[in-house]
Structures are given as structure tokens and as C-alpha cells.
Amino acid sequence: MKFLLGILLTAVFGLSAIPVMAVDWTTGLQGGGVVTVNPDTQRASVTRDGVTSPLWNGVHRLQDGSVMIVNHGEVVPGGEVVPGKPVDNPYYHLQAPEETDWEGALIAGYSPCEQLTHHVCGLHNECATAKACNPSRQLLAMEQDERAKEAVSSRMTYTSGQCINAKKDVEYFSACRPGK
């Protein structure tokens, strides 16, 4: 009966009473596999070699160079990460940094990812349970790994640029405020 009513409403008024199902969002995962996000549940899964499994909590680098954050099994929703730049990913992620912003720059003092981790987790780990602390630590590990592979380890890496972008997102990567 509902189906016939839907057809009647569509024919007479141009209205559709048939529910429109949201389409899963998919993208490639750097290093292999395809990430799929269910828009109703925000749950992400990864398919590799025909095997699908949940995407674990943390920071995941996508094929386009951006990163996606999964927290408590759900992709953190997002929007415009860089003002004025359209985002092709409806979920939170850090856009790939503009090369001119960081390429070849020397690191003086703390690296951008060390700064982000101190900003979010606290200089002495006072905010270790903050939601963005673990993702910032994973970004730091990625940056350190990239720097270790370079001939000159005192230069900014690709992930350094992503940490610079992350620090601009004060909602998700909020400053550590112990006791609050």
C-alpha cells in the first residue's frame, strides 16, 4: 500500500514518499585498500584483498594525501578545513598541505607535530585523555618516521604540513586546559 501511495504522490504532485537511501562514501587508503563510510552510522570499514574489517581508531592517510580520523569507531565529521577551499570529503580530515607552505623549511625548536601534540595533550601529558591527543600523537609518529628517512632530518615533512593545518582547527584539536 505504501509503495502504491508513493507512486501516486510522485505521479500527481511530483513528490516522492519512497525513502531515499544515503550512499556509502568510499575512497582509497594510502598503502592499499578501500575505505567505506556508512553515512547513517558514521562507521568506517576497510576492504583489502576482498576482506572487509572495521577501520581502527586513529589517523588514516588517504590516497589524496589527506588524513581521516576515526574516534570510538566512528569517523569524526567535518567540513571546511581550510577556509574558502571546497572539501571533497564529507568527513573530518586534514587536507594535504600546500607545498609552498612548508616545502624545504627548516625546523627550529619543536616540529609542527610536536607543537600540535603539546598543544592538545599538554607539555607534560596533562590532557592525555583528550579526544584529539591520540590522533596528534599518531601524526607526530608519522612525521618522525618521515624525518628519519630523509638525508636532512631537520626539514619539514609532508605530515609537518598536515600538523600545521590541524592546529588551525581549534574545535577538534583544542588546547589542553588541565582541570577543565
Q: How far apart are CA 165 and CA 119, in angstroms?
A: 13
- Cell numbers for 116, please give them: 600540535
- Cell numbers for 114, please give them: 610536536
| DSSP string of 22-68, one letter each residue | PPPEEEEBTTS-EEEE-TTT-BEEEEETTEEEEPPSEEEEBTTS-EE
**For the chain, which domains are there?**
25-94 (2.40.10), 99-168 (no CATH)
Query: What band does 30 get if pLDDT is binned at 50, 70 and 90?
Result: confident
pLDDT at 89 over 80: no
pLDDT at 64 over 70: yes
CB atoms within 10 A of CB 81: 19
Kindly state the helix (H) or strand (E) to which residue 70 belongs, with its residue range.
Answer: strand 67-71
Instruction: Please give the distance of CA 130 from its chain centroid, rounded to a whole number.
Output: 16
- Please give the share of the chain, as a percent, with pLDDT higher than 90: 19
**pLDDT value for 91:** 54
pLDDT tens figures, 92-143: 555 556 665 666 678 878 999 999 999 999 989 999 999 899 999 999 999 9
pLDDT at 154 over 60: yes
Q: Who wins on pLDDT, 29 or 99? A: 29
Query: What band does 29 get if pLDDT is binned at 50, 70 and 90?
Result: confident
